Amino acid sequence: MTNEQSLAQTINRMHDRNRRCLQRRMLSEINRHTDHWASGINLRRHIIGGAFVLVFLFFSTPYAMTPQLPDKPMNVSAPFSRQHALLLMDNLTQQS
């Protein structure tokens, strides 16, 4: 093999290595973008899912609070004693 041939071979090998390296970098960059939660379809999926969860929480909270909510509007000095006060009032009103 002549010196020129050897040099050309070395240059080709270097180019190959550079190409492979570049390919790997580009692939990792593409993966990074598609994996990112705020990218393309991922972002849409998160927004729709999140909105469903928030709407569910908003409308389910009053049902979760039902034991604490009286049928009549009332004001209490002690927090979380509405139901207890209302039951006691019912009891005392029946007595009176």
Binding site for other proteins (CB under 8 A): 32, 35-38, 46, 50, 53-54, 57-59, 61-62, 65, 69-70, 72-78, 81-82, 85-86, 88-89, 92-93, 95-96
All residues at 6 or more sequence positions from 35 whose CB lies less than 8 Å from its CB, including other chains? 42
Neighbouring CB atoms inside 10 A of 5's CB total 9
Nearer to other proteins, 12 or 91 (CB): 91
What is the SS3 assignment for 85?
helix
Least Cβ distance, residue 89 to other proteins (angstroms):
5
List, as one string, the DSSP characters of 13-25: HHHHHHHHHHHHH
Nearer to other proteins, 3 or 95 (CB): 95
Nearer to other proteins, 3 or 96 (CB): 96
